[in-house]
Amino acid sequence: MRSIYRGLAVVAAVAVAATVIVLALPSGPDEVVAGPVTAPPAAPASSAPAPTPTPSGTPTPTPSPSLSPIPTAVPSPGSSLAPGYTAMEALYADSRVPRLTGRVKRMALPRPAKRLVKDKRTGLAVPRLGRPWKQHGAAPFTSKQVLPPTRGSKLRGMLVTCPLPIMEQKSPRDTALLAARWTLNHHPKGSKISWLASQRVKTGWMLVYRVKYGKHSSRAAVVVMDGGMGKPGLAFVTVPDSQRKRWRDIGRVVSGVRVLG
């Protein structure tokens, strides 16, 4: 009997060992033995807070960060046109250019000049000013007259014509306002306008104004006129206070701009 019990014990032990081996080995070629569980790779750094685990161990969803309101575009003084604004809205937001009110009066104009500079690109003619004015290389304009430079100053008077360099408006007056603002690109930095005269001219509008920069200033004028070309023409004259004796020529210019034909 003892031999029988010993035999049964040996058989049982062998069966248990075989069972352990079967459990430890993969049951097929597509299965992999489970290894120790490792933490997943760290997630990339994020500004969002990590989820907070609940008592049951299930993480609660992290609330989405609130969206900041999109900033509204604001016209930048000196810029030609701020995004989202019309040309006139950008003009009215420019502190360098005051509103043109009814207090700005017409001015008495001298007789038109007989000697002219003809600009076929704009369809306009402007007075040919006498000495000390002289014609000069026009680029980037289409005609140009200048005063000789003054010692101690980089500024000098000039009279130029060119096709309208800004967006034409429905009103010739508004177009002239935008043109006057554009001329600040040709005055010293920090320049500001004050209006002296405003009036309608044949097929357009005329503005005369003072440009103040620091302790100095210039007198200037623009005439926007339809010369029958693809877009209106612009005549622009400016004279610094270092050449103030030639300020009277500004009236001669604005009275003498005319359409070719």
Separation between Cα atoms, residue 64 and residue 193, nearest integer Å: 50
- Distance CA(31)–CA(26), nearest Å, equals 6
Separation of alpha carbons 102 and 96, rounded Å? 19
Give the list of residues 6+ apart from residue 168 with CB closer than 8 angstroms, or none.
175, 231, 232
Burial degree of 109 (CB within 10 A; 0-12, 13-18, 19+): middle
Write the CA distances from 158 to 6, 99, 143, 241, integer angstroms: 125, 26, 10, 13
Distance CA 138, CA 182 (A): 18
Instruction: Name the DSSP letter for residue 189.
Output: T
pTM of the model: 0.69
pLDDT (0 to 100) of residue 109: 86
Q: For residue 56, what are its two tokens?
A: 């049951």
List, run by run, the mean pLDDT of 10-residue segments along the chain (261 residues). 48 45 37 35 45 50 44 42 79 95 90 91 96 94 96 93 96 97 96 97 96 97 96 97 96 95 76
Cis before 140? omega within 30: yes
The C-alpha atoms of residue 45 and residue 198 are separated, in whole angstroms, by 63
**CA within 13 Å, CB half, 213:** 16
All domains in the chain, ordered by first residue: 108-259 (3.40.1000.10)
Asked if 157 contacts 239 with a C-beta cutoff of 8 angstroms, the reply is: yes
Contact criterion met (CB below 8 Å) for 244 and 150: no
pLDDT value, residue 23: 37
pLDDT at residue 104, rounded to an integer: 94
